Structure 1
Amino acid sequence: MFADFAAYLADGANWVGPNGITTRVLQHLYYTVLALGIGALIAVPAGMVIGHTGRGEGLVVGLANTMRALPSLGLMTLLVLLIPSTLIPPITALVALAVPPLLAGVYAGIANVDRTVVDAARAMGMSPWQVLWRVEVPNAMPLIIGGLRGATLQVVATATIAAFVNLGGLGRYIFDGLALYDYTRVLVGAVLVTALALVLDGLLALLVRLVQPGTGRLALRDPALQEAIDERAAVAR
């Protein structure tokens, strides 16, 4: 089977065309990005408000635990019966999977910014909106990207269920292979999903390192503003 797997990948004909590996990878990325984008539209504003105001922390924990407990395949199957669409059910199931880690990452990032720094920014006359966007969000970015990293891994791995309702993606190899008892094709799908997840995880891990405060690798903060806030925070301490 492993020899057949290597031969399958070595055959250039399997990489092109509507059923080729390249097309399947792009389809899988499309479902992943779409689900993460919709999930971010829901989770990021909610996480910012809750982290900034400190209100609704119990809601975050309860919602995250509830949504994590939802079975993605079961939810998608139910939605297939209720919604006459091929794309909405799997994307909805993936969004439900993406929201908890995104929400937790944004909330935790904002809430764990040094309160002395936040108080110093307010003492400089910044409005709540300025404090959020110019101080809290830049300093919270490592945890925010960490939440995105966790959500991406879960969505990439679970996006294979799109093939269950005859959509594309790398899950097509797994479902078609099982239907035809072609386990080489199943192995191709499993390895490609794993490889895609590892590549995306590596890129996001690198991004987390780049946005670490104080490293200077990726400047997300206004240096003059940050210096002034640090000075005021040092005096407050």
Structure 2
Amino acid sequence: MGVRGWIKAAGRGALDLLYPRVCLGCRAGLHGTDRHHLCARCETALPRFGPEACPKCGMGLGPGAPVGARCPDCSGRPLAFAGAVALGPYRDLLRDLILQLKLGGERSAAGDLGRLLAGRVAGDARAVAIDAVVPMPLHPDTESRRGYNQAALLAAPVARRLGRPLLADVLIKAKVTFPQATLEAARRAGNIAGAFAVRRPWRVAGLRVLLVDDVMTTGATASEAAAVLVDAGAADVLVAVAGR
């Protein structure tokens, strides 16, 4: 370790003394030189999907499911993305971490969620074909109030793990929408219609894009964003989410 490394380590040590790190799951004190914000016990307890998952929407299917089987949740539904991969079910500690990141201002949760999602994506055979990573955008007003885009924070470690460029400003949110899960089915299509646009389409032309978001419920929002990317010239879109 050089002088610069020692200075950084000393600085981190001083910060840990002034502001002790605690696990975002159980609030136990954290020690050591890594910058994780989950203790080993909570990380192990985090609900995650196994290898048996729907290749289209990412929903876990449970042990014994046939490889490549579609789940009842998305079978027969027109979804514009080619497939999806999800870290785990949106419940328990995983849900709590996502809500801390999304609504609680806890940006540090993105480090662990992004790291774990990156591992999940890297283990998917379809990841080798990815050319670029694109985060699901927020409307500028929403991002201004929140101070960050949680999907962009999750997408950064995924892009690093895959060794692919992060195109954080290509897909934009053109209008404010309501959460799809809060709406009746009849209103969902109108809610997200025209919600997205692509800036400088040549940047995604011919590329296989990985679209990263925090949560996918019905898949309608991801499908709309994927359709806009494909209309702009992307070859296809794979979706990656922390919670499903």
TM-score range, shorter chain: under 0.3
TM-score, normalization by structure 2: 0.23
Structure in which a larger fraction of residues adopt helix: 1
* Largest Rg, 1 or 2: 1
Relative contact order (C-alpha < 8 Å, sep 6+): which is higher?
1
Structure in which a larger fraction of residues adopt strand: 2
TM-score, normalization by structure 1: 0.23
